[in-house]
Amino acid sequence: MARAGARMIRGPHPMARTHKALAAGLVAVTALLSSDGWLRGERAFAKADYAAAAAAFAEAIEQEGDRAPIEWRYDFALASYAAGSLDAALDSASRVAQQADGRLRQEALHLLGSIEWKRAEAIAAMAMQVEAEPFLFDQAIERVARARAHWVDAAIGDDAAPESVRNAERALQRLEQLREQKAEKDRQRKAAGAKQKPMAVPDGKDSGEEKQGGNKDGEKDAQDNPLAPLQQELSREQVDRMFEKLEQRDREKLQLRRSLRAQRSTSAERDW
Cα 75 to Cα 111: distance, rounded to the nearest angstrom: 11
Of the chain, the percentage scoring pLDDT greater than 70 comes to: 62
Measure CA 195 to chain center.
29
Lowest mean pLDDT among 26-35, 81-90, 150-159, 257-266: 26-35
pLDDT recorded at residue 119: 96
pTM over the 0.75 mark: no
CA dihedral 96, 102, 107, 110 (to 10 degrees): 100
Does domain 4-194 sit in CATH 1.25.40.10?
A: yes
Q: Residue 260: its pLDDT value, please? A: 73
Residues 37-84: tens digit of each pLDDT: 889 999 999 999 999 999 999 999 999 888 899 999 999 999 999 999
Q: How many Cβ atoms from other residues are within 10 Å of residue 63's Cβ?
A: 15
- Specify whether the CB–CB gap between 14 and 41 falls below 8 A: yes
Grade residue 191 by pLDDT with cuts at 50, 70 and 90. confident
**Mean pLDDT within 14-37:** 47
pLDDT digits (tens, 9 = 90+) for 89-122: 999 999 999 999 889 999 999 999 999 999 999 9
> What does the CA dihedral 63, 67, 70, 72 come to, rounded to 10 degrees?
-30
User: What's the Cα-to-Cα distance from 22 to each of 64, 188, 215, 242, rounded to whole Å?
Assistant: 16, 58, 88, 76
Show me where the domains of the chain are located.
Answer: 4-194, 216-226+230-271
CA distances from 197 to 55, 139, 193, 201, 212 (A): 57, 31, 9, 13, 22
Q: So what's the pLDDT on residue 134?
A: 85
Is 11's pLDDT higher than 80?
A: no
